[in-house]
Homo-oligomer: A and B are copies of this chain.
Amino acid sequence: MTAPAFERVLRVPFSACDPAGIMFFPQVFLLFQNHVEDWITDALGVPYADLLGPRRVGLPSVRWETDFRAISRMGDAIVIRLHVERLGEKSLTLRFAIAGDDGVRVEARQVIVCTSLETHRSMPFPDDLRAAITRFQESAA
C-alpha cells in the first residue's frame, strides 16, 4: 500500500535554470512551495490565499532535508509528488520527490509549523485544514 500522493507533471522552464543549463536548486525549493500551495488549495480544498491572507494562518518551514541525486535540464518533463509523513497538533511533515525519465532526482522532507501571522507563534492547525489533511491521508492511493 502506498501513501496517497498529490502529483503534477511539469516541464522545467528556462527561467528555473542556471548558466550550467540545469535546474537551479533554489528554484527546486520554489517548486516545492508552489506544490504545497496547489495541494492545499486544489486537493485539500482549503484556499491557501485565504489562509495566508485574511485568515492570518502562517505555514512556515522549520526544517528542510533535501537530497539532489540527479540533475534536471531545461525542457525536461518532470513529476513532482508530495505525501504526508506525519500530522501533529501544530506541525506537519511532508515528503517530496521529483522524478524524470531516469527515476527519482530529488527527495525532500519538510517540517511545517502552523503559526498565527499576528504573533508568529505556533498554534494548532485550523479544524478545516486538519480535517482535510486527515481525509487526504485516508484516501485510496
Q: How many copies does the complex hold?
A: 4
SS class, residues of chain A in contact with chain B: mixed
What is the minimal beta-carbon distance from A10 to any residue of chain B, in angstroms? 11
Query: Is A21's beta carbon under 8 Å from chain B?
Result: yes
Residues of A58-73 contacting chain B, CB below 8 A: 58, 60-69, 71, 73
Residues of A29-63 contacting chain B, CB below 8 A: 29-30, 33-34, 37, 41, 47-50, 52-53, 58, 60-63
Task: Find out whether the CB atom of B60 lies under 8 angstroms from the CB atom of A74.
Answer: no
Residues of A within 8 A of B (CB): 11-15, 17-22, 24-27, 29-30, 33-34, 37, 41, 47-50, 52-53, 58, 60-69, 71, 73-76, 117, 120
